[in-house]
A and B are shown apart, each in its own frame.
Chain A
Amino acid sequence: QKEVEQNSGPLSVPEGAIASLNCTYSDRVSQSFFWYRQYSGKSPELIMSIYSNGDKEDGRFTAQLNKASQYVSLLIRDSQPSDSATYLCAVTAGGTSYGKLTFGQGTILTVHP
């Protein structure tokens, strides 16, 4: 079982729609959760961090965390073609791992006009 698993893509949505990206993790004591956006040929860019159960909103982005079910999701409202990228879910290990991040394999999102 992969430590961090993301829903298989690619995901294609029309412009203006809501894109939903999901991620599950295996380490029950994970404490910090992140979403990175990576454009083709570029490095990952941090777009959301979430540390407690519930929703966190930032502009068109909403991160949702459910530690009991060990999943974290990212919703992108009013999707734009510029949102087309690979989205990486990352989770910190529990215990004394000093913030070590484990990444999922990424989900490719395409927003078509």
Chain B
Amino acid sequence: EAGVAQSPRYKIIEKRQSVAFWCNPISGHATLYWYQQILGQGPKLLIQFQNNGVVDDSQLPKDRFSAERLKGVDSTLKIQPAKLEDSAVYLCASSRNYEQYFGPGTRLTVT
């Protein structure tokens, strides 16, 4: 069974630029999550989708972050405009029940 796929793996941008991340979950997993992990901390949930509907986006900075999951499969997370404090690893995870499986992540550096 293929795991969660993410791209790109690394991204370096300047502040105020925009960036987008892509995620393809494990086949058959209805729930998809985006997390932000800052160095030395545990992952923090940004947004959770159930199929193509948003279940929880309470910690998503909606003035600059947006996410969508069209057709209940792939998802994209966008940041516009980026700030220095957005430098982190962005992790996508998916689950069929409560067990979540993570993709390799995208390491974002904002300069």
A interface residue numbers (CB < 8 A to B):
4, 32, 34, 36, 42-46, 49, 88, 90, 92, 97-106
Which of the candidate stretches B14-22, B72-80, B94-102 sits at the interface with the other chain?
Answer: B94-102
Interface class of chain B by DSSP: strand
Number of B positions contacting A (CB below 8 A): 24
Given A44-B91, A49-B99, A98-B56 in contact, is the A103-B31 Cβ separation under 8 Å?
no
Contact partner of B95 (CB less than 8 A), chosen from A45, A97, A99, A104, is: A99
Contact residues in B for A104 (Cβ distance below 8 Å): 42
Q: Determine which residue in A34, A42, A45, A99 has the highest number of CB atoms from chain B within 10 A of its CB, and name it.
A: A99
Contact residues in B for A46 (Cβ distance below 8 Å): 99-101
Contact residues in A for B101 (Cβ distance below 8 Å): 46
Shortest Cβ distance from residue A32 to the other chain B in the assembled complex, whole angstroms: 5
Contact residues in A for B98 (Cβ distance below 8 Å): 32, 49, 92, 99
Bitwise, B82-95 to A at CB < 8 A (1) or not (0) is 00000001010001
Contact partner of B50 (CB less than 8 A), chosen from A44, A92, A98, A102, is: A98
Give complex CA distance A2, B26 in Å.
31
Q: Determine which residue in A43, A49, A90 has the highest number of CB atoms from chain B within 10 A of its CB, and name it.
A: A43
Asked if B25 is at the interface of the complex by the 8 Å CB criterion, the answer is no
16 A-B contacts (beta carbon < 8 Å): A43-B91, A43-B103, A43-B104, A46-B99, A49-B98, A88-B42, A90-B42, A98-B48, A99-B31, A99-B97, A100-B48, A100-B55, A103-B43, A105-B40, A105-B41, A106-B41
Contact residues in B for A36 (Cβ distance below 8 Å): 102
